[in-house]
Amino acid sequence: MKAIVVQTEQEGHPLAWQDVPEPGYGPDEVLVKIHATALNRADLFQRAGNYPPPPGASEILGLEMAGEIAALGAEVTGWQVGDRVAALLPGGGYAELVNVPAGMLIPLPAAWTFEQGAALPEVFLTAYVNLFMEAALQPGESVLVHGGASGVGTAAIQLARQAGCRVFVTAGTEQKLSVCQSLGAELAINYKTTDFAEQIRAHTQGGGVDVILDMVGAGYLERNISLLNTRGRLVFIATLSGAKAQIDIRQLMGRRLRLIGSVLRARSLAEKVEIKDRFMAQFWKQFLDGTIRPVIDSVYPIRQANQAQEKMAQNQNIGKIVLRVVD
């Protein structure tokens, strides 16, 4: 089969579409013919050599895909060759074929394209596990989503709104802010021109927020902690501005705050299946009726993966960048 291979011996680690061995598949796995995959920020870190796949995972980039089942493991039940599916992957999405544990499969709704299916798993499962399982976000609470126009941000805004929460976001351009508002954000703040903490205090008459989903890290830590309401939760999912900062522990004690760090990729298969099942039980109906949808920025042929990743590296995407594997 063909797959994207990182040319680590060349400067900038360019991506090339090359012949590689086909993956095998176990008795409780299916082999999927991939029609589309999608970019995640983590792909850029992995390509640079800073985010190796967990033990046992494919070395090939790609944390999600949508396609058709091409073959079934001996113990798989409930699925047929030809079924249209999407799945979260620990790696291996930028390819023509991938093996997927049957427990991770998401049935693709009949009306959905493979591009839509590929844009769903990583960002919606990340938003879901962090907002609803890690931070235990409750209806009526408020949540601040940093990077509101990112893939994860566009998923988080929609899930939180559907759960009956107030949503505030930060993003870096006016166009990004207006998309966040169209998805349900009540307050969208340009962090490049405004202090987000001051703006939220003004908007909430001196109050703060119950939950913060943060991908920025060190540069926002002090302001994030200052904004949390009593029993507030701050979930770290990335450290785009740096990973080391100081904390005033008395603030955590006084308002009984919780700081939570979280990754999805390194979790066990059993945990990922549970996350996917709980996500579908709570929100799948809203996907089927179109209330929630993956936000797709652009679609590139997989041979243009270099250009697609460059767009993400420049922070130019709003929502997901998809790679089409089958024309």
Contacting positions for ligand NAP (CB under 6 A): 40-42, 122-123, 126, 147, 149-152, 171-173, 176, 215-216, 237-238, 240-241, 262-264, 312, 315, 317
Of 264, 290, 283, 326, the residue nearest 123 (C-alpha): 264
Q: How far is the CB of 268 from ligand NAP (least distance, A)?
A: 14
Residue-by-residue DSSP string for 243-262 = S-----HHHHHHTT-EEEE-
The Cα–Cα gap between 124 and 65 comes to: 13
Give min distance, CB of 241 to ligand NAP, in A.
4
Element holding 323 (H helix, E strand): strand 320-324
Q: How far is the CB of 61 from ligand NAP (least distance, A)?
A: 13
Cβ neighbours of 271 (radius 10 Å): 13
Shortest distance in whole angstroms from residue 109 CB to ligand NAP: 22
Half-sphere exposure of 211 (CA within 13 A, CB side): 25
Residue placing its CB nearer to ligand NAP in the complex, 7 or 315: 315
Closer CB to ligand NAP, 42 or 322, in the complex: 42
In the complex, least distance from residue 152 CB atom to ligand NAP, rounded to whole angstroms: 4
Cβ closest to ligand NAP, residue 32 vs residue 213: 213
The Cα–Cα gap between 229 and 68 comes to 46
CB 242 within 8 A of CB 215: no
Residue 30 or 159: the one with the smaller Cβ distance to ligand NAP is: 159
* CA distances for 303 relative to 137, 162, 179, 189, 313, angstroms: 40, 37, 29, 36, 18
In whole angstroms, how close is the CB of 192 to ligand NAP at the nearest point? 8
Smaller CB separation from ligand NAP, 67 or 147:
147
Q: Which is nearer to ligand NAP, 96 or 297 (CB)?
A: 297
CA dihedral 304, 310, 311, 314 (to 10 degrees): 180
